[in-house]
Amino acid sequence: MSAAGSAPAVFVTGASSGLGAALAVAYARRHPAVRLGLLGRRESALAEVAEAVAQASGGRASTVALAADVTDSRALADAAARFMAEAGAPDVVVANAGISAGTLTGEPADAEVFRRIVQTNLIALPDTFAPFIAPMRARGSGALVGIASVAGIRGLPGASAYSASKAAAISYMESLRVELRGSGLRAITIAPGYIRTPMTAGNRYPMPFLTDADVFARKAVRAIEAGRGFVVIPWQMRIVAGLLRGLPNPVFDRLFARAPRKARVGASD
């Protein structure tokens, strides 16, 4: 984090709703003088999050609202430059933006949805971090946080794009963690289970250990500050995911062949 006694600077993508908004508010409560970069696609929603941050911090936090789509690497770089011009190199960068929708291979209408999910959930990770690497390396400290998912631990039928993107995100973050070893920078992977957000609101199946977004955010901020390399929230889902990962393929296939599937419509960040 930042030097002792100074307010941290935190840059969060996907900040207009869901986990990103909850993380922004959690940082404001934990560090009232936090300097926050809030990046999302919807300006009006970012304004609402900025107001929630102001309330949570007693008006002490400063925010920079940045309307951009994380699939646009140039817009991301411009937003990063704007944030650093006001707040300096961040102490924490959270690549949180993510979308989800049901996808089926062979369905022509799903092909573009598949690409969009992978671009948002995976390709945007290095694009989000890239503008900050050099200034954070020069300072010799900071955390790059990738929001993955327990859905990336085993492929879920009907959610091939989402599972694939999150599995790749986990591997990417692991590679980055090793690449940054000795630099003073930390790469941290956070894999949420089922969190109560607009993204999960339309799920038509049971969601074990469903957790409120504010509870997730508080735990995530603590995990980031503790420097944990990989954390599943809630912790019970790590056990569930581990059990699923250990199932022989024939057993897993039989169990999930008839499982309810995510609707093949829309997405939310």
Q: Give the residue numbers annotated as catalytic, written as ranges.
A: 162
C-alpha closest to that of 239 among 206, 209, 196, 218: 209
Maximum CA pair distance of the chain? 56
List of long-range contacts for 55-59, beta carbons under 8 Å, 24+ apart: 56/25, 56/28, 56/29, 56/32, 57/28, 57/29, 57/32, 57/33, 58/32
Contact 64/53 with Cβ under 8 angstroms?
no
> Residue 68: phi, psi to the nearest 5?
-165, 160
Number of H helices, E strands in the chain: 10, 9
9-13 β-sheet, strand order? 62-67, 35-40, 9-13, 92-95, 142-147, 185-192, 230-233
Cα→Cα distances 126→66, 133, 209, 238, Å: 18, 10, 30, 25
Cα→Cα distances 105→76, 159, 187, Å: 30, 10, 32
C-alpha closest to that of 191 among 221, 165, 230: 230
